[in-house]
Structure 1
Amino acid sequence: MEQRLGNSYRMTINEKKFIEQALVSDLRVDGRRPFDYRRLTIKFGSEDGSSEVQLGQTHVMAFVTSQLVQPYRDRPNEGALSIFIEFSPMADPSFEAGRPGEFAVELGRIIDRGLRESRAVDTESLCVLAGKLVWAIRVDLHILDNGGNLVDAANVAALAALLTFRRPECTVGGEDGQEVIVHPPEVKEPHPLIIHHLPVAISFAFFGNGNIVVIDPSHKEEAVMGGRMTATMNTSGDVCAVQKAGGEGVLHSVVMQCLRIASLKAADITSKIKNAVETYNTERALKKVKRHSSLVAVEVDGPETKLK
């Protein structure tokens, strides 16, 4: 098995045999069935575009920022979307600070492929001045704890952060109509991104020459698995991307079974993401109402009127 498929968790031969023999009986060391997903928790920060996702023992944070840049020459009317991942040695002893390793690059590519190539984010709506200025959206993913299946957790964190992000409102004016004015949120309400669909990544691990399949592999299972596949799908059943990260070969029938299961899991996770975002938007609207109502109250003190 290639090193990038697993992790640095050192296991004894007896531990590996125990995990493999349990999987033959459709049992897993954490008590789950082969196609049971771990508990998924989605939280949001105090600012728009920040999310925190916990999948079992795996913990990932995401932050979305924007910047006005020049567009690519071959796409003068489209903005840009980029994914950056930071691995902390506190999350896993195998992670090294500084230059991203092979697994970090691969993880970023899987998430980037699912989001960009499926055109989930409307990049044309990010255009301000054709050929001159567009919004570049950057998603920073921070791995806080590696409990296995970083791909799925990071993908959900990126989607949740993108759904709650709002870019500043800007207007074009000036004598030549080429002057761009970016308005702060206190002046004009920022705009949310236009997202057409949610590509959700679902990962599978293969054992026993590809005959045994489990979903959402844990940290220990990744250390002994013989192969891995990630299917990125949306609620419409569209396959946005498929990544088979080396390892042992898998039969066509097994791949199709994984895609059917991934379609059901993707619909369930999409519902959880939308519910969490709806709750966040409701709380955000209430905070905004309270902030504005506090400015309406006035206090009359003699001839002067003061705003509270």
Structure 2
Amino acid sequence: MEPRLANTWRLTVNEKKFIETALQSDLRIDGRRPFDYRSLSIKFGREDGSAEVQLGQTHVMGFVTAQLVQPYKDRPNEGTLSIFTEFSPMADPSFEPGRPGEAAVELGRVIDRGLRESRAVDTESLCVLSGKLVWAVRVDLHILDNGGNLVDAANIAALAALMTFRRPECSLGGEDGQEVVVHPAEVREPLPLIVHHLPIAVTFAFFSNESSVVIDPTHYEEAVMGGRMTATLNANNDVCAIQKAGGEGVLQSVIMQCLRIAGQKAYDITTKIKNAVESYNTERASQKIKRHTIVSSHVSGVGVNVGKQSQYVDQKDVSDRSKLIPEKCVADQSMDLEGKTKLSEQGQTNRIEGDAKNFIGGPSSWYVSPFKICDLASDNLLLLISA
């Protein structure tokens, strides 16, 4: 982006003459045709309801917020929509800090008229409790760089931000059912705004020569033009608003020609906005799915580890019990056999001799199962009882 000095908006006589002469030959200083738009770029931020639009050298950022307020008495079932603009000296040296000037007020009114008068946003859906609480939607437009035609760029930024904004879901509760509960995004999915259509602002610049009409004027062309007209239309060629900001008079035939061209441009810009919003929603949904997948995998992994650990502990407990039970059994039975050791030793000797006779051969094993000890002890008890 080429730098601009503080006095570049004050063009010299030769520069003005050069621009006017080029327009008479259907040429513009940036190489475009009279009815060609500059390159349009739409980007979205991390949060819902933020959009950044770049139209040539013009750079505008839009941000949408909402809060619960009391409705107007004459419209108790409708929410509100308001537009606020901020002109920073960083965008253009001619902008002064402090209170908004005439240009900022005019920009906000043109965009506000196109959105509210056409009822593009369904304000009745913003009602939470009739006569008590409604959503007040606020659109803040920040001018980051003034390269000309701020109205069109700011209008696109406002529409893109409104299309991606999501408000928290509300429900009524309490004993009387009049208590409003605002659910956070972690509990319930936020709800998008209901936008019926997209009113697109298309600006035309008129010069001293009545036949010289261009669309999307640049910063230099605005310094030379004699008049300007902004037509707001949707993709269906419905005229939402028209503003003729002073200057030279324009013939009716020229205005009708501008409206036909504006209808075509509105359709093209609407398609670009919808495609950008659709790609943003797709990416947002994919990120949400990835986040849930990662969380669920962590939870399932912990469950598997815990299951294995519990299984290991259970097996260990069983093995310990299998070792402890025979020892306890032998100890109890040995206490009962203290007074009759002779008979038990004799029976044990006879049993060992019988096993020795049946021994054929093979590898010796000195391991004696604890269950074998219990069997021997039980046999000794039977011998004592029979004796």
- Provide the residue aligned with 2:169 in structure 1: 169
- Provide the residue aligned with 1:201 in structure 2: 201
Scaled by the length of structure 1, the TM-score of the pair is: 0.95
Tell me how far apart the structure 2 counterparts of residues 211 and 302 of structure 1 sit (CA, whole Å).
Answer: 81
Per-residue CA deviations over 1:149-202 (Å, capped at 9, x if unaligned) read 000000000000000000000101111111000000000000000000000000
Amino acid in structure 2 at the alignment position of 1:115: L
- Provide the residue aligned with 1:59 in structure 2: 59
Secondary structure of the structure 2 residue equivalent to 1:100:
coil
Contact 1:87 / 1:97 at 8 angstroms: preserved in 2? yes
Contact 1:8 / 1:223 at 8 angstroms: preserved in 2? no
- Provide the residue aligned with 2:138 in structure 1: 138
Q: Does 1:103 align with 2:98?
A: no
Tell me how far apart the structure 1 counterparts of residues 306 and 280 of structure 2 sit (CA, whole Å).
Answer: 43
Contact 1:210 / 1:227 at 8 angstroms: preserved in 2? no
Name the structure where helix makes up a greater proportion of residues: 2
- Provide the residue aligned with 2:330 in structure 1: none
Q: Which has the higher contact order (CA 8 A, sep 6+)?
A: 1
In the TM superposition, residue 304 of structure 1 has moved relative to its aligned partner by 11
- Provide the residue aligned with 2:24 in structure 1: 24
- Provide the residue aligned with 2:231 in structure 1: 231
In the TM superposition, residue 294 of structure 1 has moved relative to its aligned partner by 1.8
Contact 1:170 / 1:183 at 8 angstroms: preserved in 2? yes
Contact 1:77 / 1:124 at 8 angstroms: preserved in 2? yes
Tell me how far apart the structure 2 counterparts of residues 158 and 152 of structure 1 sit (CA, whole Å).
Answer: 10
Tell me how far apart the structure 2 counterparts of residues 186 and 26 of structure 1 sit (CA, whole Å).
Answer: 56
Tell me how far apart the structure 2 counterparts of residues 36 and 89 of structure 1 sit (CA, whole Å).
Answer: 29
Contact 1:36 / 1:215 at 8 angstroms: preserved in 2? yes
- Provide the residue aligned with 1:246 in structure 2: 246
Name the structure where strand makes up a greater proportion of residues: 1
Tell me how far apart the structure 1 counterparts of residues 187 and 228 of structure 2 sit (CA, whole Å).
Answer: 49
In the TM superposition, residue 210 of structure 1 has moved relative to its aligned partner by 3.3
Secondary structure of the structure 2 residue equivalent to 1:160:
helix
Report percent identity of matched pairs. 78
Tell me how far apart the structure 2 counterparts of residues 246 and 101 of structure 1 sit (CA, whole Å).
Answer: 17
Secondary structure of the structure 1 residue equivalent to 2:89:
coil
In the TM superposition, residue 302 of structure 1 has moved relative to its aligned partner by 4.9
Tell me how far apart the structure 2 counterparts of residues 208 and 25 of structure 1 sit (CA, whole Å).
Answer: 14
In the TM superposition, residue 88 of structure 1 has moved relative to its aligned partner by 0.7
In the TM superposition, residue 211 of structure 1 has moved relative to its aligned partner by 2.8
- Provide the residue aligned with 2:286 in structure 1: 286
Amino acid in structure 1 at the alignment position of 2:272: K
- Provide the residue aligned with 2:127 in structure 1: 127
Amino acid in structure 1 at the alignment position of 2:246: G
Please, which moves more after superposition, 266-275 or 204-213?
204-213
Contact 1:49 / 1:65 at 8 angstroms: preserved in 2? yes
Number of equivalent positions: 299
Please, which moves more after superposition, 209-218 or 85-94?
209-218
Secondary structure of the structure 2 residue equivalent to 1:134:
strand
Tell me how far apart the structure 1 counterparts of residues 207 and 151 of structure 2 sit (CA, whole Å).
Answer: 19
- Provide the residue aligned with 1:37 in structure 2: 37
In the TM superposition, residue 8 of structure 1 has moved relative to its aligned partner by 7.2
Per-residue CA deviations over 1:209-244 (Å, capped at 9, x if unaligned) read 433100000000000100000000001110000010
Amino acid in structure 1 at the alignment position of 2:199: P
Tell me how far apart the structure 2 counterparts of residues 289 and 26 of structure 1 sit (CA, whole Å).
Answer: 52
Q: CA RMSD in A?
A: 1.4
Tell me how far apart the structure 2 counterparts of residues 288 and 132 of structure 1 sit (CA, whole Å).
Answer: 34
- Provide the residue aligned with 1:181 in structure 2: 181
Q: Unaligned regions of 5+ residues in structure 1, if any?
A: 1-6
Q: Does 1:156 align with 2:156?
A: yes
Secondary structure of the structure 1 residue equivalent to 2:262:
helix
Which structure is larger by alpha-carbon Rg, 1 or 2?
Answer: 2
Scaled by the length of structure 2, the TM-score of the pair is: 0.76
Q: Unaligned regions of 5+ residues in structure 2, if any?
A: 1-6, 310-387
Tell me how far apart the structure 1 counterparts of residues 203 and 308 of structure 2 sit (CA, whole Å).
Answer: 65
